[in-house]
Structures are given as structure tokens and as C-alpha cells.
A = this chain, B = another copy of it.
Amino acid sequence: MAARPRVFDIDCRLAYTLDTPADFVFQLHAHEGPDQALESESVRLTPGVRSHVYTDPYTGQRFLRAQAPAGPLSVRYRARVAVRRPARERNAAEARVSELPDDLLHLLLPTRYCESDLLGSATTKLFGDLPPGVERVEAICDWIHRNVDYRLGSSTPTTTACDTFLNRAGVCRDFAHLAVTFCRALCIPARLAVGYAVFDKPPPDFHAMFEAWVGGRWELFDATRMSDPRGLVRIAVGRDAKDVAFATIYGAARSRAVVPEITRVA
């Protein structure tokens, strides 16, 4: 079960120009947990920027809050992370609603970009007759892969799972939203998972996958099939994309660079 860890170097650089002061909430820090160990880490902001890190007591993920004055802002996060994620369990079962841990119930609910309340009927028609379990989640991934085109520029930050179900095109975040929505409509707790991922092809970018609760634990899936879930350096999990944005900005800022590099070193 416990494979040799995959070790990655992260070097993430963001740069902005601000005409007026602005507030930022970054989510760039690699998550620490049983499946991810941090070997080293540093974060550097433009001197003079006030900042602090907030760790969510529930999830353990970290938020870097910054108050930046007008002018240039740059952020650099570097880390070495060892990922040791067990292989997906082949026969993982879905839990009945009555068996779900109390603190997972909320992950059955619809959210801003995952309108499982609107797609209930369609989900039942598509996947309701499949045997429950991890294979049904894999069937969801397969359906999305076959029926939704990966196309840069085909969606916007406000695109929802319903939009993607209609348009049949999107990027990683849209694929993950649709998968999360189908899962929740089937009473499988599901959430977005974002992080640093190795792609076959450049350019580097943040990546969104999703997690479904099967077999009594969170299993990670990539509906885009663009990256191996065992190699995701997870930053955060959340109800949907709004919870796990790498940067939420309060104020006006022009983005100059977003370069989340990741290199496998072992």
C-alpha cells in the first residue's frame, strides 16, 4: 500500500501591479498530512508588505493574507514535498447516508459552482443504475472525459457545473466541478482539490482535481486525465473553486505573472 514517496520541488512565483492598496488571500502553501510531508519551505513577499499565515483548524490548509501598498507585488513560494499517496482502493464502497460521518454531511450540499440540486435528475438518469462504489466515480470521470472538451478559454471564473453540462467544454476546474456535482447528486460526499501538478506539456499551471468519499476515506480523481492523482502536491480542498482560489484579491490588481513550477526530483 505504502509506495515509495514521490518528491517534488515547488517554485511558485506570482507578480502583480497595484495602482492602489489591495488585500490578498493566497493559497499557495502545500498541505501537510499523512499523504504529504513537507521537507522544506519558504515564502517571500515584496518587502514592506504586511502578511500573516492563517491555518484553518478544520482542514489544516494555510491562507497567506497580505496587505499590499500601491506598486509592484511579488510572491514566491518554494517547497520540497514528499507525496506518498496510497493506490486507489479497487473495491471501495460508497457509504450510505446514515453511515456518513457527521462532519461530512455538508459536502453533499450544492455550492456556488456545483448545483447538485439542479442536476439531480440528470445525474440519476446517467449514473443511477450503475453499481455504487469507486467504479461509479470512475464512470463519472469517463463520462466527463468523453462528453466534455478540454478547451482553454471556454469558461470563465463564474462558470458553473450546469454551464459546463450545457456547453460540454471547460478546463480542469470545470471538469472537477461537474464531477463533484454528479457525486453529490448521488449522495457521495465530494470536494475540489487543488495543487501543483506535473503535466506532460508545459506551461505550468495550478491544477484542480476532485476527491470523493468512498471506502471510508477521500480518494483523489482527475477527470481531465491530464495528471496522475498520485503526483498532485495538494494545496487545499474545498467545497468548490471559490474556497480554494490561489489568489482572492480585494481591490484592483493587474496580474503580471503566474508561474507555479513543479519538478519531480525523486
Contact = CB atoms under 8 A, between A and B. Distances in A.
Interface residues of A, number: 41
Contacts of A112: 109-112, 115, 117
Interface string A41-69: 00000000010001000100001010100
Contacts of A121: 149, 167-169
Q: How many copies does the complex hold?
A: 4
Contact of A125 (B108, B117, B168): B168
A64 to B, nearest CB: 11
A105 interface: yes
17 contacts: A50-B98, A58-B58, A63-B102, A65-B105, A110-B112, A110-B242, A111-B111, A112-B112, A115-B158, A117-B158, A119-B166, A121-B149, A122-B166, A122-B168, A125-B168, A162-B166, A187-B250
Interface of A: 23, 25, 50, 54, 58, 63, 65, 67, 96-98, 102, 105-106, 108-112, 115, 117-119, 121-122, 125, 147, 149, 157-158, 162, 165-169, 187, 242-243, 248, 250
